[in-house]
Amino acid sequence: MTEDSHDLVIAGSGVAGLSAAVYAARADLDPLVLEGDEPGGQLTLTTDVENYLGFPDGVGGMDLVQRGKEQAEQFGAQFRYGRIEDADLDGQPLELSLSTGDTIFTRSLIVATGASARWVGAENEDELMGYGLSTCATCDGAFHRGDDVLVVGGGDSAMEEALFLAKFADSVTVVHRREELRASEIMVDRAREHDDIHFRWNTELEAIHGSQTEGVTGVTLVAHPEGYPREKAESGTNVERETVEMGGVFYAVGHTPNTQFLDGTGVERDDSGYIFTRTDNTGRPSAHTAVDGVFAAGDIADPRYRQAITSAGTGSMAALDAEEFLEALPDADESMATASAETVP
């Protein structure tokens, strides 16, 4: 186990974390970026990004992330593998316990750990994610002009995805494991009234067909009149299976924010785990959380937009807010020395 001290630690290496790292490194804050279990975040699951400013011909998701990392390293950011498992955010310095067994002390922390899209466990989803299977219609919908596509889900997000996809696809089929949607009435009405959106009730996605070369070519659906057909199939109940041609599949079953390590801290979150950020004294948005020295950026604080460009913007905001916070702190030498001394047996 090792211990070290920093002025700024950035948790997460997706677009938000990398943007924060670039800004912080240029400000000579010598940030340490913890890459987490999935370096690069959700964008690495996207083969092509066409709506990121400055890339008129598009850019690969992995390529964009790698360029961001190289840019941050060029300005002096350090990268280390590790995930925060526990955090003591009471007073200065902040203390972070990592999955590697290391302990880090820092005067400020930017949380950019993202929100992971929920998958449904369909056969071949690991192979085809990013190759016709997506968790973001606004990111990938335009690639499916003229296709028949499938949306999995029954909440507002699923209705929004279906309505957006209907601008490009020939047809959109929404599959839901029950007969009743969780979505708000107004969103359900909009989707049901659209001529190109169709519903398959008491139906679930069992398998996705295709390859990384061809993309998604079809799906196998399983149905039962009483709903929850996959569960019934696993228990031995007879279900109906159907394989249909499909050019794309979109998961819209929600996201899980990666904030479990903040349990027991003063960082305020909503019921789903998304971090609340605060307005400044003029009422304008900031990246500050309820804990001094802790800032939030990217999807972790944004359950609505979840776009690479907005994540990058909030990453820069968090770095600028952290810089201002650090400038206002007294000299760190005494507090860091005290913290290190307290850990000596």
Six token digits for residue 288: 């500050």
225 preceded by cis ω (within 30°)?
no
195 is a catalytic site residue: no
**Residue 45 DSSP one-character state:** G
Catalytic residue among 7, 140, 299, 321: 140
**Residue labelled with tokens 């948790």:** 11
Crossing angle of the two packed helices 156-165 and 185-193, in degrees rounded to 10: 30
170 close to 147: Cβ distance less than 8 angstroms: yes
Give the C-alpha separation, 246 to 237, whole Å.
27
**Residue labelled with tokens 């001394």:** 341
**Residue labelled with tokens 């912080």:** 24
Residues sharing a CB contact under 8 Å with residue 63, sequence separation 6 or more, in sequence order: none
140 is a catalytic site residue: yes
Crossing angle of the two packed helices 15-26 and 308-328, in degrees rounded to 10: 40
Q: Torsion angle, CA of 143/242/234/183, rounded to 10 degrees?
A: 50
Catalytic residue among 139, 147, 148, 302: 139
112 close to 315: Cβ distance less than 8 angstroms: yes
At CA 244, angle to CA 215 and CA 183, rounded to 5?
Answer: 90
Catalytic residue among 7, 136, 147, 321: 136
Q: What are phi and psi of 221, to 5 degrees?
A: -110, 145
139 is a catalytic site residue: yes
Q: Torsion angle, CA of 140/144/148/152, rounded to 10 degrees?
A: 0
Catalytic site positions: 136, 139-140
